[in-house]
Copies of this chain bind each other. A is one copy, B any other.
Amino acid sequence: MKDIYIADLANFDEGKLFDGFFLVLAKQQRLTKSNKPYLNLILGDKTGQLEGRVWEPADPRIAKEFDRGDIVKARGSASKFDDRLQMKVDQLRLAQPGEVEKSDLLPSTTYDVAQMWRQLLSFVESIANPDLKLLLATILNDPQFAEPYREAPAAKQLHHAWLGGLLEHVVSLCTLADRVAPHYPLLDRDLLMTGVILHDIGKIRELSWGTGFEYTIEGMLLGHIQIGAALAEKTIDSLPNFPAKLKTLVLHMVLSHHGKLEFGSPKLPMIPEALVLNFLDDLDAKMQAVAGEFEKSAREGKGPNELTNKVWALDNRQLLNTKRWLGEP
């Protein structure tokens, strides 16, 4: 486990020495005004990022061979420049395998992954339709899908942008759909739950999360909607006697879950289950974004009478934390 996290440095004494493990997110060679070469680094861990400066790259205590994507151990001191934290790096070496958990270096869900996975499987268990249940079980029991499903973030940024974020988002959505489904008798609950569990599965290939969260080229050119639909279709085609109508419906739910053509869904929701999936997905993503903004405001020291910053995911609206404003617990 790491001893010190980037988020801790905000309250750290300037100039005091510390050690830490970091993921190297960027590395550039530059020159000072007096033409001396130095290294400019972006270092990250699960709590944030900071800029690092190696003023003496030739110092024997600075590793010569390291690059973007490597995990390093660095020693130095912090200072502020234009309100941004900066680290002056005195020593730096590659981390040994096992010295630090990857989950310490990328932002990660605060929930227990194993428990969320059990919740997900119990939702699958609750499905009555045998074809849909078999489809989901086939996918979730296949390690090539299950493993990244447990790890993937739900987004590069915006909402649930952390390791385990995809699973966290889907489990939240399952719970929500489970509450809403009985309210509308015309809904086929099994189909809705299937849509919830599969709608974002393409993200396991759209994104990469080894060293920071990035889009893959496949992800950029095809998108998680198409990747997810293809993945579902391939699994369905491998099952004996999966009903053709059900296949069309499952694929339609994956395709239409963004709800609008301009959000990248090639089809609008045309069945009640797809309509509800789109609403709940959107609501859950936005509520998570709201919660994240409120936490950020608190972290930044905003008072209860202050609105959040403008939130990109909510049309640049500013939000007010009702409970805090009213002084509620």
A interface residues with partner B (beta carbon < 8 Å): 14-15, 28, 30-31, 33, 35, 79-81, 83, 172, 175-176, 179-180, 183-184, 186, 188, 191, 217-218, 220-223, 225-226, 229-230, 233-234, 237, 243, 245-246, 248-249, 251-252, 255, 261-273, 275-276, 279, 282-283, 286-287, 290-291, 294, 305, 307, 314-315, 317-323, 325-326, 328
Contact = CB atoms under 8 A, between A and B. Distances in A.
Contact of A30 (B30, B83, B233, B323): B83
Contacts of A264: 261, 266-267
Contacts of A318: 220, 270
Nearest to A29: B80
Contact of A272 (B14, B183, B245, B287): B287
B180 A176 contact: yes
Given A180-B180, A272-B319, 9 more contacts: A30-B80, A31-B79, A188-B323, A226-B266, A249-B326, A270-B307, A271-B319, A272-B321, A279-B279
Contacts of A269: 317
Given A15-B35, A191-B322, A283-B279, A307 B30 contact: no
A42 to B, nearest CB: 13
Nearest to A13: B35
A65 B290 CA distance: 36
Copy number in the complex reads: 6
Q: Which of A243, A255, A262 has the most CB of B within 10 A?
A: A255
Contacts of A79: 31, 33, 35
Contact of A325 (B245, B286, B287, B322): B245
A249 B188 CA distance: 37
Given A176-B183, A180-B180, A271 B326 contact: no
B255 A222 contact: yes
A248 B184 contact: no
Nearest to A315: B268
